[in-house]
């Protein structure tokens, strides 16, 4: 049964269609979030940026649970970009420590909720302790059958594409793929060389904090993703905001280049 109200009320001021309820039969399969604004959230409160990151992790926990309850199959969270190494070492340290703390504290709960932990990005460049905890978490949750929680860590879309090309060359030079394979390379084959090879493209990309850019996130995979922006900063991003993003998504007309 369709759970959403048939009535769509028009918001006259912005001329944006608003829907009152979520349609649980049309939950996006893959939701990706650029969790932004932690520093500004803290600054507004005269607190150190690190405090913003701390509250951000608490929030992340809440949103992960909600996404899993909603029946989202893949949740990708942009947590640390290839460009975030340009930040002061103390801030990078804080972020890495928070990652370890989050996984150590939440692993059993995530496991109980049947969540599968995965990563995208070059995690080999993270501090050893992060790699260790991530590997343990992935190993421990690999046989679960619920939502895939994809953590984008040391992730950059350009790096991912270059890495795929390099690996293709390597395989060709090693004789593992033929000249004919290379001549026939297509989207499906190329996908197999990306970090995201096991997941579908994101249906919706959410960015918090008012910035309207990708900042090197999922450049290949976002070809037909719906974009959704909010001024709300990540530490304040609520379940209701997630619901609103999905409600708006459900009003979009995805044509994939065709006609409806
Ligand atoms: C997002 O918040 C977290 C990371 C990029 C790791 P920011 O730290 O970018 O916060 P702002 O954008 O400076 O407010
Ligand atoms: C994007 O946020 C990266 C993450 C959320 C992890 P940034 O704060 O790094 O992006 P810019 O610098 O504002 O583009
Ligand atoms: Mg930012």
Is the distance from CB of 221 to CB of 200 less than 8 angstroms?
no
66, part of any domain: yes
Indicate the pTM of the whole model: 0.93
Taken as a whole, the chain contains a residue count of 260
43, part of any domain: yes
The pLDDT score that the predictor gives to residue 17 is 53
Q: Which helix (H) or strand (E) holds 181?
A: helix 179-183
The answer to whether 69 is a known catalytic residue is no
User: Ligand 2 pocket by C-beta < 6 Å: which residues?
Assistant: 34-36, 78-81, 84, 211, 213, 215
186, part of any domain: no
133, part of any domain: yes
Residue 114 CB neighbours (<10 A): 13
Is the distance from CB of 223 to CB of 48 less than 8 angstroms?
no
Which residue range is the domain that position 37 belongs to?
A: 27-156+201-245
Angle between helices 239-251 and 49-70 (to 10 degrees): 60
Can you tell me the distance from the alpha carbon of 59 to that of 37, in angstroms, rounded to the nearest whole number? 13
173, part of any domain: no
Give the single-character DSSP code of 219. Answer: T
Is 38 a pocket residue for ligand 1 (Cβ < 6 Å)?
yes
Which ligand has its closest atom nearest to the C-alpha of 120?
2
Name the residue among 229, 234, 191 with its Cα closest to residue 77.
Answer: 234
Domain count for the chain, please give it.
1
2, part of any domain: no
Residue 227 CB neighbours (<10 A): 15
220, part of any domain: yes
Can you tell me the distance from the alpha carbon of 76 to that of 34, in angstroms, rounded to the nearest whole number? 9
CA of 215 from ligand 2 middle (Å) equals: 6
CA of 128 from ligand 3 middle (Å) equals: 25
Please tell me which residue in 61, 84, 144, 216 is annotated as part of the active site.
Answer: 84
Name the residue among 158, 71, 81 with its Cα closest to residue 113.
Answer: 71
Is 209 a pocket residue for ligand 1 (Cβ < 6 Å)?
yes
The pLDDT score that the predictor gives to residue 3 is 45
Is 235 a pocket residue for ligand 1 (Cβ < 6 Å)?
no
The pLDDT score that the predictor gives to residue 20 is 78
The pLDDT profile of the chain, 260 residues, written as one tens digit per residue, is 444 444 444 444 444 456 679 999 999 999 999 999 999 999 999 999 999 999 999 999 999 999 999 999 999 999 999 999 999 999 999 999 999 999 999 999 999 999 999 999 999 999 999 999 999 999 999 999 999 999 999 999 999 999 999 999 999 999 999 999 999 999 999 999 999 999 999 999 999 999 999 999 999 999 999 999 999 999 999 999 999 999 999 999 999 999 97
Long-range contacts of 165-171 (CB under 8 A, 24+ apart): 165/193, 167/193, 168/193
CATH number at residue 232: 3.40.1180.10
φ, ψ dihedrals at 104, nearest 5°: -65, -40
16, part of any domain: no
Q: Which helix (H) or strand (E) holds 164?
A: helix 157-173
Can you tell me the distance from the alpha carbon of 104 to that of 63, in angstroms, rounded to the nearest whole number? 18
């Amino acid at each position: 049964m369709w759970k959403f109200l048939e009535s769509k009320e028009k918001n006259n001021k912005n001329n944006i269609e608003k829907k009152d309820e979520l349609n649980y039969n049309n939950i996006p399969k893959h939701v990706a979030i650029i969790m932004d604004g932690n520093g500004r959230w803290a600054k507004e409160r005269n607190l150190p940026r690190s405090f913003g990151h701390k509250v951000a992790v608490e929030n992340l926990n809440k949103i992960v649970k909600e996404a899993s309850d909603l029946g989202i199959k893949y949740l990708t969270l942009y947590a640390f970009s290839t460009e975030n190494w340009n930040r002061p070492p103390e801030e990078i340290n804080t972020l890495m420590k928070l990652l370890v703390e989050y996984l150590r504290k939440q692993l059993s709960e995530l496991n109980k909720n049947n969540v599968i932990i995965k990563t995208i990005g070059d995690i080999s460049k993270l501090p050893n302790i992060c790699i260790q905890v991530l590997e343990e978490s992935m190993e421990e949750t690999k046989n679960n059958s619920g939502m895939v929680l994809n953590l984008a860590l040391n992730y950059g879309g350009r790096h991912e594409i270059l890495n795929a090309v390099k690996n293709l060359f390597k395989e060709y030079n090693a004789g593992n793929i033929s000249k004919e394979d290379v001549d026939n390379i297509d989207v499906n084959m190329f996908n197999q060389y990306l970090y995201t090879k096991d997941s579908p493209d994101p249906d919706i990309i959410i960015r918090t904090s008012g910035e309207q850019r990708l900042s090197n996130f999922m450049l290949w995979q976002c070809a037909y993703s719906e974009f959704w922006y909010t001024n709300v900063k990540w530490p304040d991003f609520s379940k209701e905001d997630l619901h609103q993003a999905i409600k708006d998504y459900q009003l979009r007309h995805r044509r994939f280049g065709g006609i409806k």
